[in-house]
Amino acid sequence: MKPLWNLPPKFISTTHSLGRFLRRDVVGLTPVQIRLALDSLSRLYPGPADVHFSYEMRQGMQVARLRRKRDKPNHGVFFVHGGGFAFGSARTHRAIASALTKETGCEVWIPEYPLAPECPFPAALEALDAMWTEFKSQYETVFVLADSAGGSLALAMMQRLSNEERNNIQGLMLLSPWVDLRSNSMSSRADSNSWSPFGRLDMLEYATHYLAGEDPKQIAASPLLGSFESFPPTLIETSAVEYLHPDACALKERLLAEAVEVFWREEENSLHGWQLFPDILPEAKRSITAMSQFMDEKRFEVTKHQMLG
């Protein structure tokens, strides 16, 4: 295996192991404390000068909206952020959303859905359902984007939509999605923690906080187990060495089995969450390019259909 960021694999593995030990066994950081730390750090990122970032209150929930200044976008992206259902926000995901906005001219919505453990399942899903209703009618073309635990929420939300509503979504983009919350999922059994700051114990903890005693086998909790009828073309991106790689592979097979058009991207040696740093990491820049190309292709198909129709 070639080095990651010019660092030897053994160093990466040891660093993550030590980090998990310090976080869990020495400091004992809770999900809420991790949330506060990440949000504090994310406030240091000013964002690009040519992208407008603002908050609004919709459906009793805060949502960030990003667009290029002086633009009036006619296509929108509904971005369900990740963070183990317990952390993450519009600010932690501002860099990737800004890069996508600059590249495509779209407007991105990032709903700040209620987080666990204070607001367990299905609070986040119900909040996203309401926000989707606000979002969907404002653009000519719409896309859904989600990363990590946001992938579970986005899929579960879409599975609750009617076939007609799903047909009106031009594309779905899933970055390292977590779609199976069962303790015996393929990702949990593989436990590829050498290349992840989180291991099986962390994932079980976050799932427990989120589900709060609810059955992880229900489709709304583990959407991998549900139906993908009438799902739009789907871009799935994963790293071959990350913890959730088995989830992404299993989802690809389920989508293909139901005749969904799948676009598959796999990085060789990227750490989970690399897409959040397009200003720094070349692999994150490749992710933005891939999403942009996917969106352009699907928007062209809509335009072509309208001209021929």
Find the domain containing 96 and state its range: 9-308
Domain CATH number, residue 98: 3.40.50.1820
User: How many folded domains does the chain comprise?
Assistant: 1
Residue 3 lies in a domain: no
33 assigned to some structural domain: yes
Q: Give yes or no for a contact between 110 and 176, defined as CB atoms under 8 angstroms apart.
A: no
Does a structural domain hold residue 154?
Answer: yes
- Residue 171 inside a domain? The answer is yes
What is the enclosing helix (H) or strand (E) of 153? helix 149-159
Rounded percentage of the chain residues whose pLDDT exceeds 90: 72
Residue pLDDT, tens place only, 189-236 = 998 766 666 778 888 988 999 999 999 999 999 999 999 999 999 999
Asked if the structure places residue 143 within a domain, the reply is yes
Reported as a single tens digit per residue, the pLDDT across 65-93 is 999 998 889 999 999 999 999 999 999 99
pTM: 0.91
89 in a domain, yes or no? yes
For residues 138 and 67, give the distance between their C-alpha atoms in angstroms, rounded to a whole number. Answer: 14
Q: Are 263 and 193 in contact (CB under 8 A)?
A: no
- 1: in domain: no
Residue 172 maps to a domain: yes
Q: Across the strands, what pairs with 237?
A: 175, 265
What is the rounded CA–CA span in Å between residue 93 and residue 203? 20
Q: How confident is the model at residue 1 (pLDDT cuts 50, 70, 90)?
A: very low
Q: How far out from the chain centre does Cα 24 lie?
A: 24
- What number of other Cβ atoms are within 10 A of residue 30's Cβ? 13
